[in-house]
Amino acid sequence: MTDQAQTQPLTPELFAQGFMTPRRASVPKELVLPGGTLAQLATSEGDVAVQVAGTGPAVLLLHGWEGQASDMAAFVPPLLAAGLSVVAVHLPAHGASAGRQSSIPQAARALRDVGARLGPWQGAIAHSVGCAVLVEALHAGLVVRRVVALAAPARYEHHVRGAAAALGLDADDTERALGLLTAAMGADVRAVSLPGRAPTRHEPALFMHSEDDRVVPIGESLLSAGAWPGAVHRRLGGLGHRRLLGDADVVAAAVDFVRRAT
């Protein structure tokens, strides 16, 4: 949530505005792709930055909320070494993409549009909110053959309510904020649910989550994996919410999983 929203008396309108406004990194870190290209693709949600490298079957890399494409850098060398290509998407209002505000439904629509241009994809490796964006895009028709979900959250409504409670919104104002968010996002916040979408998915899926994650509790991905037919859940330890992105075992497991159908 923005500083402006926090220094004024909090209203449902200010809360909704702040909830959809990610903080961009003060010192952006570039994702270096050997021999890669950076393009701006027009989508229904504005221009989205996409980095592409390699010539084999493509694997999507998708960072989380207030993250950067460079968060996924550890996956690039082994994917390229395995003969795969990499498509790293900067979420709307993040990194090199356009926009100031976004949300899971809006980012999912943008990802669907990118997939229509550059897909179908051999696999996808997503982190945190990126997992929810990916699944919403799959629900809307995006084609990805294999899915790796790292530290995946479960229900968008739960996180909205948690943020509202932490900032002191009462029950009535929280309901008002949910209505405002639904209108602004163009989708019902309550319907944005990974475990809600999971039973209809057919893609092989691997969930990995650390027990000490203080941002997204591991129970959320356990719930989603349990609802996803045939999904595998790997419980990790000591890697928190972000350290798993650079863990050699996690990276190797993710790359091995997405390359299997090649």
Q: What pLDDT digit, counting tens, does each position of 129-155 carry?
A: 999 999 999 999 999 999 999 999 999
The domain of 134 spans 35-154+192-259
**pLDDT over 80 (residue 3):** no
30 in any annotated domain: no
How many folded domains does the chain comprise? Answer: 2
- Looking at the structure, tell me whether residues 60 and 185 fall in a common domain: no
- Looking at the structure, tell me whether residues 185 and 215 fall in a common domain: no
Average pLDDT over residues 180-193: 96
- Looking at the structure, tell me whether residues 120 and 240 fall in a common domain: yes
Over the stretch 63-86, which tens digit does the pLDDT of each residue have? Answer: 999 999 999 999 999 999 999 999
| Secondary structure of residue 54 in the 3-state scheme | coil
71 in any annotated domain: yes
Residues 92, 48 contacting (CB under 8 angstroms): yes
**pLDDT over 90 (residue 24):** no
Query: What are 211's two structure tokens?
Result: 């027990």
| Secondary structure of residue 207 in the 3-state scheme | strand
Q: What's the pTM?
A: 0.94
Average pLDDT over residues 18-32: 85
- Looking at the structure, tell me whether residues 146 and 253 fall in a common domain: yes
